[in-house]
Structure 1
Amino acid sequence: MTVSTSAHEAAVNAPGVSRESRVRSVFRVTCGNFLEMYDFTVYGYYAAAIASTFFPTGNEFASLMLALSVFGAGFLMRPIGALVLGAYIDHHGRRKGLILSLVLMAIGTACVAFVPGYASIGLIAPAIVLFGRLLQGFSAGVELGGVSVYLSEIATKGNRGFYCSWQSASQQVAVVFAASLGVLLNHLIPAADMNSWGWRIPFVVGCLIVPFLLYVRRSLRETDEFAARRHRPGMAEIARSMVQHSRLIVAGMGLVIMTTASFYLITAYTPTFGKVVLKLSSLDSLLVTVCVGISNFIWLPVAGAVSDRIGRRPVLLVCTVVAILTAYPAMQWMVAQPSFGRLLIVELWLSLLYAWYNGAMIVALTELMPVEVRTTGFSMAYSLATMVGGFTPAIATWLIHTTGDKASPGAWMAFAALCGVVATLVLYRSPQSRERYKAA
């Protein structure tokens, strides 16, 4: 038996549930989301240095592809983490599962931060880095879903999109923080030292903030909606439900591909793209990434709030169609005459498309999933999509190397947007389904 919608609304709108307590709950739950995205982002920022430290092959392209492939390998573990940890959260509660995911993420970060390089311990070094990335991927498989579901269950009536948007907004804080730290380090540490050992500093910083984040998340309350639920499915029941709703999960995966491909293109890949492909300075590329993170942070809550008013479907369709039409031409314009200004303009444009789409998409995905297995279903769809979109830095690098077209990453984003269009039309194919998935 599940809690009714009216019961949920009564709980979250109760007089004793103050606005201040909801703000605190949003902060507590999204703090782990910050660490997860911070770790993934700094790996992308310093991929070239990581490549030379752990994957020296004598060929710059081959080393970079190995480093980016290990970056992508973390996403291969996400579906497993979604199923195992998602089932744990759906059975034992949102709070316990989110604490566990944070601990696992911290261990993975430490593996990358402190392991000696290939020159010191040989193949053991890249093996430990790969293990750390796989552990981070396993943890991240449920982090986004757990946070999004928690926010949807504490949201006030008519504001679910706005609340859920803070899951992604917290990631943008991580992007800005990581890029700003990179800018500072570029001022303080010579480039040769950054490539040799300075790139480890951001990972060490990530480890140092773990105790604070763990303290904050331990004070998280269980959601009223989950606490009121009498039936809490076990692993076997959840697994059967995943098979039963496989079509819904695949469609949800298509919905998320646009988010993951565009996000990793404009954040994790930007420093490498600006430095290696456009031949701009590391400082220029990191400054652009800071601006992208700020742009995302501003637009995500706006988009979530707008989708609460006009529905998810119009926002999703407009953003994906515009991305199909403009992503590649914008990249062509940028690479024709590479400069800080053109990189900034194009990245901010792609940021606008990503943020408006994602602001509506996250809440739409929580509304699509059956309440009994909401965390697992959301996490499975999201994790399967990141197995595609998470390889965006590697795919973009391969496309440029193979085709010789520096604008080809724009074609990859356009393809991801096409997946979003198809998924949106499938999921909202009838008036009944559109009504069902409208904001509560």
Structure 2
Amino acid sequence: MYSSKGKAVVKVVSGNFLEMFDFMVYGFYASAIARTFFPSDSAFASLMLSFATFGAGFLMRPLGAIILGAYIDRHGRKKGLVITLGLMAAGTTMIAFMPGYEEIGIVAPLLVLAGRLLQGFSAGVELGGVSVYLSEIATPGKKGLFVSWQSASQQIAVVVAALLGVTLTTHLSAEQMTSWGWRVPFLFGCLIVPAIFIIRSTLQETPEFASRKKHPTLSEIWQSIFHNWRLILAGAAMVVMTTVSFYMITAYAPTFAKNELKMSELDSFLIAMLVGLSNFFWLPVMGALSDRVGRKPLLVGATVLTVLTAYPALIWLVSNPSFSHLLIVELWLSFLYGSYNGAMVVALTEIMPIEVRTTGFSLAYSLATATFGGFTPVVCTYLIHVLGDSAAPGIWLTLAALLGLAATLFLFRSHPSMAGKQTSPQPTGF
């Protein structure tokens, strides 16, 4: 039983690894990508365009959540997860092999944008599809632990992407990294696609979905989304905290370390790798803890601590920049992220109506990333530039935590049973 479920977890999160690996690589090499596809006399303008393209991919997530989510809720978890993998691979390939601006002009950044939009469309339902799959195969009383592996698999992607960055930075010059070195991680992503596709194609349908006699039609899915719009918006507000914190301490961290703290690329990649390992540890630990004490204590505790410490920690860091100080701040924020996300993702699967569980989860998650989380690197860059305050990203994270706290209190007041340990199916809406 446990062996077969363990294999199923590995199979389903393998594609999730690729999705996050591609996003991390783009964030880590934003500066090099900016010079390749978005040349400008202003380094700030070039970086802003690169990060804006990174964020643009998230704008497609809600559309992917609705279209692909409806497909998964109607036709099955397995079929939909195989489709999302193919779309993600296509977007990655476009970016990896795209000639630069100097070779083909304006067509280059436009096609890179198209690749990011395709990735975003696929990712719109990837997280939801994986999370729902894990929640439906979970051993009773261990749903938090099982679902936490969705996020934990992303951290492996962070570590691998950072490790590649350390290796490339050590062996290549800055000029080589800018001209072609940044493409190597994307090529790596392309090479592992066939293996991941084979692994995911052997997935079995979840027993819960397979046992249902009737699956919703498209019109019924739309009606349920409309009926539960308050639930979906509240869920999106709850997700904001996790997406902003994650992209701040991972995708944006190397750029922040290099531009604001004046650290080497090697140091910034080492930090990112250590943060990924920290996230990987805390996520399943906190997911399992939420099975014992309930979701609410972790969600409230993590958001309150973030509100109290995020900006002061950044102020202390920029006033005393060093490798050790950056590591301390990043590991603290990693602990807060892991505590919150370990409980948040499983809670989101539990509050969604079963007949539109994938669509509702994916739409809530996608709205959060499209409006807040995915644009964290560009917002942080802009805030620092406008306010003249290198600690300004702490303000953005504080606002996200306040929103997450408010959404948590609202949702758990509407669903009182969620405040305790989760061992039974949850209500299907307001």
The equivalences for 1:194-233 within 5 A come to 194-233=177-216
1:411 and 2:395 equivalent?
Answer: yes
What is the CA–CA distance in structure 1 between the aligned matches of 2:109 and 2:126, rounded to whole Å?
25
1:279 and 2:227 equivalent?
Answer: no
What is the CA–CA distance in structure 1 between the aligned matches of 2:108 and 2:416, rounded to whole Å?
54
Aligned to 2:428: none
Specify the SS of the correspondent of 1:391.
helix
| 1:436–1:369 CA distance, 2 compared to 1 (3 A) | farther
What is the CA–CA distance in structure 1 between the aligned matches of 2:106 and 2:124, rounded to whole Å?
27
User: What's the CA shift string for 1:39-81, capped at 9, x where partnerless?
Assistant: 0000000000000000001110000000000000000000000
Aligned to 1:398: 382
Contact 2:94 2:115 in 1 (8 A): yes
| 1:431–1:30 CA distance, 2 compared to 1 (3 A) | closer
| 1:230–1:435 CA distance, 2 compared to 1 (3 A) | farther
What is the CA–CA distance in structure 1 between the aligned matches of 2:263 and 2:125, rounded to whole Å?
36
Aligned to 1:253: 236
1:434 and 2:410 equivalent?
Answer: no
- Tell me the CA shift for residue 432 of structure 1: 3.5
- Tell me the CA shift for residue 434 of structure 1: 3.3
User: What's the CA shift string for 1:371-417, capped at 9, x where partnerless?
Assistant: 00000000000000001111000000000000000001011111100
Count of residue pairs brought into register by the alignment:
423
User: What's the CA shift string for 1:93-114, capped at 9, x where partnerless?
Assistant: 0000000000000000011100
What is the CA–CA distance in structure 1 between the aligned matches of 2:24 and 2:415, rounded to whole Å?
40
| 1:439–1:268 CA distance, 2 compared to 1 (3 A) | farther
The equivalences for 1:24-423 within 5 A come to 24-387=7-370, 388-423=372-407
- Tell me the CA shift for residue 438 of structure 1: 3.3
Contact 1:161 1:439 in 2 (8 A): no
What is the CA–CA distance in structure 1 between the aligned matches of 2:38 and 2:415, rounded to whole Å?
53
> Quick one: which amino acid aligns to residue 146 of structure 2?
Y
Give TM-score, length-normalised by structure 1.
0.95
What is the CA–CA distance in structure 2 between the aligned matches of 1:432 and 1:159, rounded to whole Å?
20
Contact 1:33 1:171 in 2 (8 A): yes
**RMSD, matched Cα:** 1.0
Contact 2:134 2:147 in 1 (8 A): yes
- Tell me the CA shift for residue 439 of structure 1: 4.3
Runs of 4+ in structure 1 deviating by more than 2 angstroms, as ranges, are: 430-440
Contact 2:241 2:401 in 1 (8 A): yes
User: What's the CA shift string for 1:337-376, capped at 9, x where partnerless?
Assistant: 2111111110000000001100000000000000000000
What is the CA–CA distance in structure 2 between the aligned matches of 1:424 and 1:438, rounded to whole Å?
16
What is the CA–CA distance in structure 2 between the aligned matches of 1:132 and 1:439, rounded to whole Å?
41
Any unmatched runs of 5+ in structure 1?
1-17
| 1:430–1:373 CA distance, 2 compared to 1 (3 A) | closer
What is the CA–CA distance in structure 2 between the aligned matches of 1:435 and 1:67, rounded to whole Å?
41
Contact 1:364 1:437 in 2 (8 A): no
What is the CA–CA distance in structure 1 between the aligned matches of 2:320 and 2:346, rounded to whole Å?
39
231-240 or 351-360: which moved more? 231-240
| 1:78–1:431 CA distance, 2 compared to 1 (3 A) | closer
- Tell me the CA shift for residue 191 of structure 1: 1.3
Contact 1:311 1:439 in 2 (8 A): no
